[in-house]
C-alpha cells in the first residue's frame, strides 16, 4: 500500500514540475507556482514518507559505528583478503 502512495506522490510532484515547464512563458505566475509546488511536494511530502517507509523496520543500532561493529568490519575485511 505504501509503495502505491509513494508512486502516486512521486508522479504528482513530477507531473507538476513537467507541466510548469510545459506551460511556457504565457503565464509566468502559474508556471512558477506549478514548479514550486512540485518541488515542495517532492521534498517535504514524498521524501519524508519515503525515508520512513525504508527505515520502518530497521534497527538503528546495526548502522551505528561502535566497537562491536568495528570489530565485525575488521573480521570481514580480513576474511576477504584471505
Rounded average pLDDT per 10-residue block, the chain, 82 residues = 94 95 87 95 96 89 85 87 70
Cα→Cα distances 44→33, 41, 63, 67, Å: 16, 6, 25, 35
Residue closest to 42 by CA, chosen among 73, 6, 78: 6
Asked if 74 and 56 touch (Cβ cutoff 8 Å), the reply is no
Asked if 14 and 38 touch (Cβ cutoff 8 Å), the reply is yes
Model pLDDT, residue 14: 96
Model pLDDT, residue 82: 67
Question: How far apart are the C-alpha atoms of 61 and 41, rounded to whole Å?
Answer: 31
Amino acid at each position: 500500500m505504501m509503495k502505491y502512495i509513494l508512486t502516486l506522490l512521486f508522479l504528482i510532484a513530477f507531473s507538476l514540475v513537467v507541466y510548469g515547464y510545459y506551460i511556457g512563458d504565457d503565464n509566468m505566475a502559474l508556471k512558477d507556482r506549478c514548479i514550486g509546488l512540485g518541488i515542495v511536494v517532492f521534498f517535504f511530502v514524498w521524501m519524508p514518507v519515503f525515508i520512513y517507509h525504508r527505515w520502518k523496520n530497521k534497527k538503528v543500532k546495526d548502522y551505528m559505528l561502535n566497537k562491536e561493529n568495528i570489530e565485525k568490519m575488521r573480521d570481514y575485511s580480513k576474511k576477504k583478503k584471505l
